[in-house]
A and B are shown apart, each in its own frame.
Chain A
């Protein structure tokens, strides 16, 4: 079966750096998304990786290793507003989007 694994919950301190990991086992691979979802709000697009390596976008970076079936989202200079759930999703060979259960990130002052 197809599976996306990410930690259920993480806690970090304001101003620090946190890395949220995502591992996947899917039938084929056509890209990986990261979304942010604040409580009670819509998931919003953060990043898309299809080639190996690091994509940087401001305080957020996303890394992909296709050979390892692994991605991470790196958040720098954490702010209280970064408290949210972070969803990892993979496009399989049939262009179906397979979702992880999300990682709830709690930022403490």
Chain B
């Protein structure tokens, strides 16, 4: 398998549930990203990891918790979410972080919080 993959593709959860989103990149990249995409709004950068170290956390609520166990895998742990967290969550990777690098995206997880 090539590129960036994400699972699950769709997720419905209640506000008290705990779930995790998974991202895997098969490109040999060193940087990975989590984005939130809401309708008619710009992509919101949530977290950036470079060489498995978190380098950015853009004021994201603590109910979102990222994990990067190695340079190929990225998780987003979800806990006690709110209905306004319903969105498309996109994972991306790039060769390096902090340069003029093209980012390659996964297909996203469509999340609905009830």
Contacts and interface: CB of A to CB of B under 8 A. Distances in A.
Interface of A: 4, 8, 30-31, 33, 35, 40-45, 48, 50, 87, 89, 91, 95-102
Contact of B105 (A31, A44, A95): A44
Given A50-B100, A95-B99, A101 B41 contact: yes
Given A42-B107, A45-B104, A87-B43, A95 B90 contact: no
Contacts of A30: 100
Contacts of B61: none
A89 B107 CA distance: 18
30 contacts: A4-B42, A8-B40, A30-B100, A33-B102, A35-B105, A40-B107, A40-B110, A41-B107, A41-B108, A42-B4, A42-B105, A42-B107, A42-B108, A43-B90, A44-B105, A45-B103, A48-B100, A50-B100, A89-B43, A91-B100, A95-B98, A95-B99, A95-B100, A96-B45, A97-B45, A97-B103, A98-B42, A101-B40, A102-B40, A102-B42
A18 B80 CA distance: 44
Contacts of A43: 90, 105
B96 to A, nearest CB: 10
A99 B100 contact: no
Given A42-B4, A95-B98, 9 more contacts: A8-B40, A31-B100, A41-B107, A42-B90, A44-B105, A89-B43, A101-B40, A101-B41, A102-B40
B109 to A, nearest CB: 11
A99 B42 contact: yes
A101 B42 contact: yes
Contact of A100 (B42, B104, B107): B42
